[in-house]
Structure formats: structure tokens, C-alpha cells
Amino acid sequence: MAKIAHPLDMALARLETAPPDPARPVLLAGPTASGKSALALHLARAQGRVIVNADALQVYAMWRVLSARPDQADCARALHLLYGHVGQDEDWSTGHWLRAVASVLKDHANPVIVGGTGLYFRALTEGLVEIPPTPKQIRQLADARLEQHGLQALLADLDPETRARIDCANPARVQRAWEVLQATGQGLAAWQDQTPPPLLSLSATTAYVLRPQVDWLDARITRRFQEMMTQGALDEVRAALPVWDPRAPWAKAIGAPELIAHLQGQMSWHDATEAATLATRQYAKRQRTWFRNRMKDWQDICAGPA
């Protein structure tokens, strides 16, 4: 049986022949469970860099195990920023993240920015328009309209330009566009046309995207989810049960809805873990699709059977 190479081993071999410029920021994207955090730690220690989180769920304090945040041992080996610093009641968005990264860059010119949230990297390297925050009453109105009339009711109100640009099958994206239109009187597409220059142009960075072999990644996802269970992920979800809101951004943690369903008696333990593992694989597939379509100019680091 062929030995399966760890993505870090293959990435390190690649970097030995073509190391990144120590003075330039490194961007490191990859699907969940692909080994990108370990590679980021290696680069940080080898080149005196700090590590900056680019994962939308690893920002939440409540999800240490379930989001696979770097552990205490790794954090002791290199400075990790923008991990676990957001409470469940705090607003957090791509704009918040981008402003936080801008602050980091003032003190650290050559970070490793690592994660799997494509929107974060897109905002960083392509720019992000500052849209006024949505008033609470408009968000509540959007929630009620979605619940009572469905997604099509929100889509019907959007301008054609916005409908052509967003993922119309994604309720979160549709609701966001609807809220922007109601709050500002201007469609999301019109706002996007006012996008300023990026904080970091891609040409000013060394950008890598990990592309692990699918069978290897699927097997690793299964093993890692089992490890999460032994490390206390279910306890994290149990602590969130009293405040559980499936519409909240923090509730998008992969595996959380399935484990909540188990705790609520709606799903057996076996079915919950199987469903959570499948959800993680599906999420990784969506990430790979994003990277393939949106990161064609990034340097590939592949992994698979050796």
C-alpha cells in the first residue's frame, strides 16, 4: 500500500528549492484539515514571521477545538494573531477582519496570513468597499421575511445587477444583499463598484494554495473529527446549546449543527458524527472549488500519494 505524504512534507520540499522572500508577506490558503497551520508555523519560525488567522470561524472564542485553532504549544512557538478573540455576541465580518489585518501590518510587515476563508483573501488582495452597518431592525425584518416568505421573496426585491453577481442559492448572501439595499437605498453591486485599492496587492506577496489529494484529505478529515471529539469538541457545543441560534455567524462552525441535533435528541451519536464528517468533506470541496476558480494566480502546493 502506497505511503501517503503529509502536505507539510511536500510543501517543505517545495520551499527548500524556492523559499519565499523573508521581507514579503506570505498568504497561505488551503481547505480544512490540509496541514496549512503546520506549514505556517514552520515559515514563521524559519523566517521570523507572525501568524495571522484568515479563517472566519477560528476568530470565535467559543470554538477552540471544533474550529481546529492552533493549540497552546504551537502558540508558544510563534506569535498567533486574530485567533479566538471574538465573543458570540460581538459583530464580526470580513470588514472587521480586514481592518484588524491593516493594524497588524503596521507592526509586522512580513506575516504569514493563513486560513481557508476565500472571502478574506479576496478582500485582502482585491479590496473591500466599506458599506454602512445594517440597523438591527432591518436585520430583524429580513429574518422575518425570509422565514415567512422564503428566499425568493428577498431575491425578488434585489436589483438585476446584484442578482447577477451573488450566489442566489446562498441564503446568507441573499439576505446580506437585501439588507444592504434596504439600509442604504443602493444595491450591493453598486457598492461593490466603489471598491477601493486592496490592502495588499497579490504581486506584493508570496501566495500559496495547498491542494491536497482528495482521498488523502477525506481520510484526514475523518481522523481529525474523531480526535476533536476526544479533545472536547462536544463539550464546546454543549456550552453553546443555551444560546444556540442557527442564523448566527458563529453557528456556521462545521459540525456544530449536527452535534446540536444530537444533544437535542434529534439525531443519534453515530448519525451525528457521520453527518458532521460528511459536512466537513462537503465544506472542503467548496473550498477547493473556490481556490480553483479564484486563485489561479497563486502558487500551488500539492499533496497526495508518494
Calculate the average pLDDT of the chain. Answer: 92
- The radius of gyration of the chain from alpha carbons, rounded to an integer in Å, stands at 20
Cβ contacts of 214 within 8 Å, gap of 6 or more: 288
- Looking at residue 7, what is its pLDDT? 55
Predicted confidence band at 130 (pLDDT cuts at 50, 70, 90)? Answer: confident
Cβ contacts of 151 within 8 Å, gap of 6 or more: 168, 171, 174
pTM score of the predicted model:
0.87
Q: Is the pLDDT of residue 99 over 90?
A: yes
**Rounded to an integer, what distance in angstroms lies between the CA atom of residue 127 and that of residue 197?**
5
Q: Is the pLDDT of residue 306 over 60?
A: no
User: Are 195 and 131 a contacting pair, CB within 8 Å?
Assistant: no
**Rounded to an integer, what distance in angstroms lies between the CA atom of residue 235 and that of residue 190?**
44
User: Which residue's entry shows cell 458599506?
Assistant: 131
Q: Is the pLDDT of residue 3 over 50?
A: no
Condensed to tens digits (0 to 9), the pLDDT of residues 172-220 reads: 889 999 999 999 999 999 999 999 999 999 999 999 999 999 999 999 9
Condensed to tens digits (0 to 9), the pLDDT of residues 272-293 reads: 999 999 999 999 999 999 999 9
| In the chain, alpha helices (H) | 7-17, 36-47, 72-77, 94-107, 118-126, 136-149, 151-157, 160-165, 171-184, 188-192, 214-231, 233-240, 256-263, 269-294
Condensed to tens digits (0 to 9), the pLDDT of residues 108-119 reads: 999 999 999 999
Structural domains in the chain, CATH included, are 7-129+202-213+299-303 (3.40.50.300), 136-192 (1.10.20.140), 215-285 (1.10.287.890)
User: Are 113 and 29 a contacting pair, CB within 8 Å?
Assistant: no
**Rounded to an integer, what distance in angstroms lies between the CA atom of residue 143 and that of residue 275?**
26
